[in-house]
Structure 1
Amino acid sequence: MRSPAELFDLSGRRAVVTGASSGIGRRLALVLAAAGAEVLVVARREQRLVQLAQEHPALAARLHPAGVDLLSDGAAAAVAERADTVLGGCDIVVGAAGMSGGLAGSCAFDGGLFERVLRLNVTQQAALTAALFPALAASGQGRVIHVASIYGLGAEQMGPLTPYVVSKHALVGLTRSQAVEWSPHGITVNALAPGHIPTEMTEARLQDPAYAAGLLPRYPLGRFGRLEELDTAVLFLASPASTFVTGIVLPVDGGWSCR
């Protein structure tokens, strides 16, 4: 029987984490590196990736910056090439890059906004994982973790976020489809569905007293989440502890999805 330490040990594993310059992506990259993985940290703001390594000297040797704008043409192929040259392959992909698009409903349709949100949150996630598929299949124990949202399970009630909600529902669909299609290759595909966690993208809104007062009653635990509360969830899905788990959406949401 393997010990818990062995089950969650990622030594020798190679990971690609997008959206790693801030927020959830940044945190998850650090968690995987701390567990022993070599991590290609991907984001548009390369200087922030360099700073990430500088701020964590104990992990710096396992954090490899890759400044790539995922909205640019050829971005998926560029990341896959960097994974091959820098890491020598890929065993784990964590797709945390995303954008909210701000308050936008479905009555006054903004096609350009829809296109941008869906392109980053879904299309490029699909393109990136497809570009890395050969490496994941060669691994024999590939792991794909899409960072979805509770808004992939329901809708915002404090103001319309339609493009974002649609994109996260689509990401859940991508997760389940890939899980079925890629299972013969030894690849598991799952999604995290975080609740409201203060990050660079969300902090200002969550600190608004009126918004918080309207939203907090949806949480049985009576508070918003913390970044570190995603640590064990991503480790579980990335590690040998989850070999028989695929196609799930794991809420880390303080009970939001129970309401």
Structure 2
Amino acid sequence: MSKGINATIWNEYRHEKMNEKAASIYPQGMHTVIAEGLKVKGNITLATLDEPEHGLTEEVLNNTDVLIWWGHIAHGEVQDEIVERVYQRVLKGMGLIVLHSGHFSKIFKKLMGTSCDLKWREVGEKERIWVVNPGHPITEGIGEYVVLPEEEMYGEHFDIPQPDELVMVSWFEGGEVFRSGCCYTRGMGKIFYFRPGHETYPTYYNPQVRKIISNAVKWAAPIEREYPRYGNAQPLESMEDKSQ
């Protein structure tokens, strides 16, 4: 998109206010650090749960090309009306990047149609994120793998639909593996789920993680085309009158 990409970064912004370790790593919130690492031409808007309409007003969403979503302990507080608003925007072409514990968000579960459940363990173990689709745009500038010295473990089975494209797979020090970079299309919108990003580890300062998120935003940006027409349609070619 030559005009630039308007990205909105949505963060629950609760852990950073309640957890001392999270606050020490992300004193201004994870959303601000994600924004600092986003290398995309265009405008960046920040939104959080406790703002009116969760910061996701119709005006904000109508001007958003790609929405980045991080949530964890307050999924249930997200209003269904706002979830539906985001859902409709995705169907009409807005990209959506779902990070880490956002797998349990109302919007991701609505788009996937499954429980999105998984195994987890928080002991600060090493994660190696393997690139399994090296020709994909999201992997541009990324080597064979990314190593995170400390992260929360997510393990299979991950109850999601089969990804349209599987881009990355994680291995953890404890032995588990996980589909950590998954691409989907819903309506006209592109969705990328990216696994790492627990609030008590400095994952969003990692240059490779920042590169992946930036690549994903570029990939998920909507294309310029008219929204498809649905419903009753007149024939494009002349044909016999079949109404009788």
Tell me if both proteins adopt one fold, taking TM over 0.5 as the criterion.
no
TM-score (structure 1 length as normaliser)? 0.41
Bigger relative contact order (CA 8 A; separation at least 6): 2
Structure in which a larger fraction of residues adopt helix = 1
TM-score (structure 2 length as normaliser)? 0.43
Structure in which a larger fraction of residues adopt strand = 2
